[in-house]
Structure 1
Amino acid sequence: MTSALATSSGTRLHRVRAVCLDIDDTLVDYCTSARTGLVELLGDDQSWPMWQRTSERHHARYAAGEVDFDTMRRQRTRAFLTDLGRQVDEEEAAAWEQRRLTATERTWTLFDDAVPCLRWLRSAGLRVAAITNAAGAYQRRKLAAVGLGDAFDRLVISGELGVAKPDPLIFHTACAELGVRPEEAVHVGDKVTLDALGARDAGLHGVWLDRRSLGDPVPSGISVISGLAELPDLLFRLETPAS
């Protein structure tokens, strides 16, 4: 399989050699699964916005290296329950979190455009990696559950590497393991700061996957797509013909 893209006219393009993808809310529809799991435990989804805010705050602490992934989940759940007026200790919070996680896992599913995109990347001869901020066993179990256990040349997981997006090291590690230079790689993810800007600042092509079409200002130096079906065209636009 060639490492170059080829247009329908046969022109060979060589600039992009690898694509890295975030997992949650990029390939896996994690928000829908998490919301479904929360509804199963609470009986309604009125608290979903509160859960999102609490998750964002605690995930930021994890990405900054302040806590490990499992501790973050327990502390997030305890903070969420406290905001709901439920005073629980660490053990009760851990038990509640496990029930929520079990309910969430039952509904893990891929976005419809995930598999076609991965197939196209393979057919184009590109190296493919996943870069994710989470615990290793947790993400590997998730990928296996949705049929992507062997879909990548490399998995770069913050819980295994010891650093999280947007640290340049996690992006540079993926590039090194794929055998490409940062400028030859594209990273796609749903978070502007963690994914698109983190990749850009590490020397990759940063792509923000804005599935919700938020219409937020786009920072300089990144590209925006609303779905993975748009990625092939974007890659061709990023390419320049070999001299």
Structure 2
Amino acid sequence: MAEPSRTTGQIKAVCLDIDDTLVDSERASREGLRALVGTDRAWQVWRRITDEHFGDHAAGDGDFDATSAARTRAFFAAFGHEIDDAELARRESDRMAAMRRAWRLFDDALPCLDWLRATGLRLVAITNAPSAYQRRKMADVGLAGTFDTVLLSEEVGAAKPDPRIFAAACGGLGLRPEEVVHVGDRLDADAVGAVRAGMHGVWLDRRDTGRAAPDGVRVISSLFDLPELLVCDLPAVPRPAAAPAVVGEVVGLSR
């Protein structure tokens, strides 16, 4: 594989989403739902009600605990069950404890992060989530201290795909948008949002849906694929002097 040429458009930083990009948040949420009702068969109902209650909160509106309680109350109400405040608090506590126990990084997360760090690229987390909740999650899974910058929608006052949160990332790094890549599992909020902000947008399609992406959006199905994309398809990403072996094999450095 030829060495990439150095250009004025060289990629200097990679931004990553957290939930369902680095952390298997859906699995953890399903475990929380099982703690709540003993099964995750109503997962689609839970997701719909979650979207209804947390759509505005992602940008910093509302109280997280109160919104969570309202979401759980609405979920039970959808099945005709009314619960009092004490029972609601107990069930929410059990759900949150089960979810925290289930928070895990995907297997490809740390190898990819190690490779990115070895290249000298700067790392940024951009996440639509309440600050205290998300920082606790990142600490629980060992991501605290991993990133040069962490941008949370609640603190920025704008949520992906709002271009302001991407501009805040570039501005905080002192870089032009074309020097920054953003990777996330949501096509519209992450990849398309980044492209519209002038960055390189990469959609992490973990389910390998085959869904067509708009022009300008790159698609990968695993973070193991990200180093090859950066080295081969984007401007002048330097190779690390000693790439972590597991990713070195993936990008063809050992083939």
Equivalent of 2:234 in 235, 238, 242: 238
Structure 1 residue runs of 4+, over 6 Å off? Answer: none
Equivalent of 1:13 in 6, 10, 27: 6
Q: Given residue 172 of structure 2, which amino acid in structure 1 is its aligned partner?
A: E
1:103-143 residue CA offsets vs partner (Å, 9 max, x unmatched): 10011100000000100101111010000011111111111
**Residue segments in structure 1 that go unaligned for 5+ positions in a row:** 1-7
Q: Is the 8 A contact 1:74 1:90 kept in 2?
A: no
2:212 aligned with 1:217, yes or no? yes
2:155 aligned with 1:160, yes or no? yes
Which stretch of structure 1 is more off in the superposition, 183-192 or 69-78? 69-78
Q: Distance in 1 between matches of 2:193 and 2:62?
A: 20
Q: Given residue 51 of structure 1, which amino acid in structure 2 is its aligned partner?
A: W
2:122 aligned with 1:142, yes or no? no
In 2 relative to 1, CA 120–241 (structure 1 residues): closer, same or farther, beyond 3 Å?
A: closer
Task: Write out aligned runs for 1:1-243 (5 A).
Answer: 9-14=2-7, 15-63=10-58, 67-88=62-83, 92-236=87-231, 237-239=233-235
In 2 relative to 1, CA 190–94 (structure 1 residues): closer, same or farther, beyond 3 Å?
A: farther
Residue 70 of structure 1: how far off its partner (Å): 3.7
User: When the two structures are aligned, how many residues end up with a matched partner?
Assistant: 235
- Secondary structure of 1:13's aligned partner: coil
Q: Distance in 2 between matches of 1:127 and 1:214?
A: 30
Q: Is the 8 A contact 1:69 1:159 kept in 2?
A: no
In 2 relative to 1, CA 218–94 (structure 1 residues): closer, same or farther, beyond 3 Å?
A: farther
- Secondary structure of 2:52's aligned partner: helix
Q: Distance in 2 between matches of 1:240 and 1:145?
A: 34
Q: TM-score scaled to structure 1, two decimals?
A: 0.88
Residue 68 of structure 1: how far off its partner (Å): 4.7
- Secondary structure of 2:56's aligned partner: helix
User: What's the RMSD between the two structures over aligned residues?
Assistant: 2.2
In 2 relative to 1, CA 72–207 (structure 1 residues): closer, same or farther, beyond 3 Å?
A: farther
Q: Distance in 2 between matches of 1:63 and 1:178?
A: 23
